[in-house]
Amino acid sequence: MFAIDTLIHRLKRGCQTMDYPAGPAPALPDRHGGALRVDASKCADECRACLPVCPTQAISRPAGKPMQLDLGRCIFCAACVETCPAKAITQTGDHRMSVLRREDLLLGEPEHETVRLAHALDGKLRKLFGRSLRLRVVSAGGCAACEADTNVLGTIGWDLGRFGIQFVASPRHADGLLITGPVTRNMELALKKTYDAVPAPKIVIAVGACAIAGGPFVGHPQVHNGAGSLVPVNLFIPGCPPHPLTILDGLLRLLGRLEKNSTGNVPVQKPG
């Protein structure tokens, strides 16, 4: 009887999984400013107002060069946005931030006011992983925020499995690693062994400011300032923590499962 009641209840609720990416992406919460944009041409030469307020030293101003913001080190506290008198740093509300190269997260040059978004893997790797991707999550000393937002993707509202993407318990059953946390000294050996246990070819995804560059712990002697110094990283997903939509966008972008529609701003899922 209980099973019948449960089934009837589920039928009444209908489908709870969002349409994205077949439809528009869900709106980000008001408190989530999304990706940052940097217009260094608005910066006065003598202005350094944003530098001291950044808790992770993500902003720099080399002599004779434009102001530069490292979105990989950014924890999205928006202190620089509020402090900048010229409004050279602004929030875009855009969830898309994932990149293939670490340097693509450096903003400030006229042609690099926003991130250079990731594109799909090359033909061979895309053929291998495009329909089925299994990832071993390695929590390398983080606060569990990135892990929590990654876990959200497994809920009924997001249903990560519909894209053929699964999180697995053993690295020997995985196609790659999804790393969170700044990689503490105590996790160094564990990360290396886990990476070595994944059969080749394999991919590595760094999720969150800590896994990319150390986050709030950057420069601390007990962390490695991210995973890139220990293992090769194929995809960087910034945030502190990244919104689940940002993580999902990065994964689908890497697998070539997104394309722009005619308006250029709403991704739709490619068939197959």
Model pLDDT for residues 107-161, shown as the tens digit of each residue: 988 778 898 999 998 888 888 898 899 999 999 998 999 999 999 999 999 999 9
Percentage with pLDDT > 70 across the chain? 93
Which residues are CB-contacts of 62 (< 8 A; sequence separation ≥ 6)? 68
pLDDT recorded at residue 91: 94
Going from the C-alpha of 89 to that of each of 70, 163, 235, 272, the distances in angstroms are 12, 35, 24, 39
Position 195 pLDDT exceeds 70 = yes
pLDDT single digits (tens) 175-186: 999 999 999 999
What digits encode the pLDDT tens for the residues 74-88? 999 999 999 999 999
Go through the domains of the chain in sequence order and give each one's CATH number: 123-261 (3.40.50.12280)
Q: Hey, which bits of the chain come out as E strands?
A: 36-38, 59-60, 68-70, 89-91, 106-107, 133-139, 165-167, 176-180, 203-207, 235-237, 258-260, 267-269
Summarize the confidence of residues 209-225 as an average pLDDT: 92
**Residue count of the chain:** 272
Which pLDDT belongs to residue 199? 96
Residue 52, pLDDT > 80, answer: yes
What's the pTM value of the predicted model, to 2 decimals? 0.89
pLDDT classification of 1: cutoffs 50, 70, 90: low
